Amino acid sequence: MIFERLRPALIAGLCVLFLAGGNAPAFADSPSTGGDLTIAQSLGDRELTLVLRRVTGTPGPLHVDVITHAGTAPGRLTMSATPMGITGASSALPAAGVPTTQAVLDIGQTPGTYSTGLDVDRPGPWELALGDGYRVAHIPFLVPVQATSPPERAVYGGFVAAGILLLVSVLVAARARRGGWVLLPAAGLVAAIAVAVTGAVLSASLPLPPQPGSQLDPTIDNVTDPYARNGPLITDFSRPPVLLAPGGNPLTAGKPGELELNLTDGATGAPVDDLIIHDSALIHLLVVSPSGRLWHLHPIRTASGRYQQHLTLPEPGHYAVSAEMVRRGGGVQLVRVPAGLDVSGTGPVSAPVNPVVLADGATAGSADIGGTSIGVEVANPAAGRPAAVTVQVGGTADLQPWLGMAGHMIVAGPLLSDTDIGTAVGKAPVWAHAHSMGGAAGTGRVAMPPVNGDSTPDETVAAYGPDVSFTYSFPTAGRYRLWIQVERAYAVITIPVVLDVPAATEGGRR
C-alpha cells in the first residue's frame, strides 16, 4: 500500500507542521477599547479639563487628571462615580444608582495637572459627580470592555481545533493499521486552518457592531458584548434635533448668576439626556456681549436634560447665545437661542474689546494680548471662496491643544451693526466654528497625530504653533467678527478680529 510506504514521511511532515504551528503569530488584534476621555467643564468660575484615563479592566482603577488653567482658584474638588448600567444578569455587586467610589482633590494655585483615582467595579455606563462645594456636575461616561469579535473567535477556535487535529493526525498516522485513516483528521485540520485564516483576513475589514454610547443607549450587557444581536439591523442612528430654552433668574451686569439651559427633544418634548462628548465637552456654549466679547464655556450637567452655566457678564444689554452639541447617534448640532439673553444693570464694567481690524483692503494686522504678540493674516478673502486665516501667537511653538485642537475660530456675520454686536450676532446668518489642526496652511501635515492609543495629546503638551491656520469660505460679502482661540501657558487667548469680506470678482477667481 502506498500509505504504508509514505507513513514515515507523513509523520515527519506533520511533526514539522506542529512545531511550526507553535510559533505562529497571533493574526487578529482586538479592536482598541478606546482612549482617554477629555471633558472640559466650566465649574463655577473655574475652567477645568478632566481627563479620564483609559480603564484597562474591571474591577480596576480609573485615573482622573484635572487640568487647571491660569486664574483657576485653588480649592477642594469632590468626586464620586455612580454605576448607571442595566444588566440582565444577576450580580453580587450593589445595584446601580448610588455612588460606589469617592475621592477628594485639592487643586493649587499653579495651573497644571492634579491627579486622583477612583475605582470602577463594573463596565458599562457610569456617572462622575464633580463638585466644588456649591454645585455638582454630573458627567456621563462609559467604562469599556475589550470585546472579542466573532471573526476573532473563529481565528482562535480554528487554530485550537487545528492544533488538536494535528495531534490526532500524528497519533492516527503512527498507530492506525491502515494509513487512509489519517485523511479524516487531516481533512479536519485543513478545514480548521481555513476557518481561522478566513477569520483573520476578515476581522480587520468587517464593520463594527452598533457602538454603545455613541450610537446605542449603553447597558452593561451591550458594552460587554457589542456583537450580541438582539433586534433589527439599523444603519441610521440619528435622533431628532435639540431645542434649547434658557432659564434661571434674570442676570444683572457685573453680578455672578446662573444661566440654566433646558434641553428638550424636537419630536417628543422629553428631556434630552443623551448628549455625548464632542470636541471634549458635552455642550460648547458661545455667548457674545454687546461690545463684541466672546465667551466659550462648557456648562455642567445638573440633572437629566438640564445644564447650568455660572456667569458674570460685565455689561448690560443684549447678548447672543448659541450652543454646540451632539446627541447619541451622531451629528453636530448648532442650536441658536433666538431670544438671546438680556442683562440688566448699568455699565459697562469691562474694558472695551479692541479687535484686529482687517478692513479697507488690509489683509494683515497685529495685537498684543496679555503680553503675547499676535499677528493675524488673511489670504484670498472673497465671498464664496475659501479664505485662509492664519494667526501667529508668540514666536515659538509652545501652544497647547485646547479641546483637542490647536485652535478654534468662531465666525459670525455679516453683521448689520458695529455698535450692538450682541444683537447683530444674534441676527447674523452665519455663526460658524472652524478648527485648526495646527501648522501653516498647505503644509499637508496634521500636527496632532494620536500619541497614546486612540488619544490625541492633552493640554500639557505645549508643542504647537506659533502659526495656527484656518480655512473658511465666507458665504456672502460683508463685515464679519472672528474670535480665534488658542491656549498658551495654560491660558486661553481669545483674539477678536473684524474682517471685511469683499464680493467675489472675476479677477479674484483663480
Partner 1 sequence: MTATIPTTRRILIAGVAAAAIVVIGVLVWFLRPTPAGPVVMHAGTPHHAVTATVGSAKTGTTAIDIDLTDRAGGPALPATVEIEAVMPLMGHATPPVTAVPSGGGHYRADAVPLLMAGPWELRLSISTADGVDNLTLPISVGN
Using CB under 8 A, list all residues that contact partner 1: 86-91, 94-98, 178, 180-181, 184, 188, 216-219, 222, 230-232, 234, 236-240, 265-270, 273-274, 304, 328-329
Q: How far is the CB of 90 from partner 1 (least distance, A)?
A: 7
Q: How far is the CB of 216 from partner 1 (least distance, A)?
A: 6
DSSP-based three-state secondary structure for 291: coil
Q: Between residues 17 and 184, which has the closer beta carbon with respect to partner 1? A: 184
Q: Between residues 38 and 169, which has the closer beta carbon with respect to partner 1? A: 169
Max CA distance (Å), the chain: 109
Q: Between residues 87 and 289, which has the closer beta carbon with respect to partner 1? A: 87
Q: How far is the CB of 231 from partner 1 (least distance, A)?
A: 3
290 close to 423: Cβ distance less than 8 angstroms:
yes
58 close to 69: Cβ distance less than 8 angstroms:
no
Q: How far is the CB of 281 from partner 1 (least distance, A)?
A: 21
How many angstroms separate the CA atoms of 42 and 487, rounded? 16
Q: How far is the CB of 235 from partner 1 (least distance, A)?
A: 11
Q: How far is the CB of 81 from partner 1 (least distance, A)?
A: 14
Q: How far is the CB of 62 from partner 1 (least distance, A)?
A: 20
What is the β-pairing status of strands 332-344 and 251-252? parallel
Burial 64-98 (b: 16+ CB within 10 A, else e): bbbbbbeebeeeebebbbbbbbebeeeeeeeebee
Residue with cell 492516527: 172
Q: Where are the beta strands (DSSP E) in 108-158?
A: 113-120, 124-131, 136-143
Q: Give the 3-state secondary structure of 292-319.
A: CCEEEECCEEEECCEEEEEEECCCCEEE
Q: Between residues 158 and 407, which has the closer beta carbon with respect to partner 1? A: 158
Q: Which one, of 121, 62, 119, 120, lies nearest residue 91 by Cα?
A: 121
Q: Between residues 265 and 467, which has the closer beta carbon with respect to partner 1? A: 265
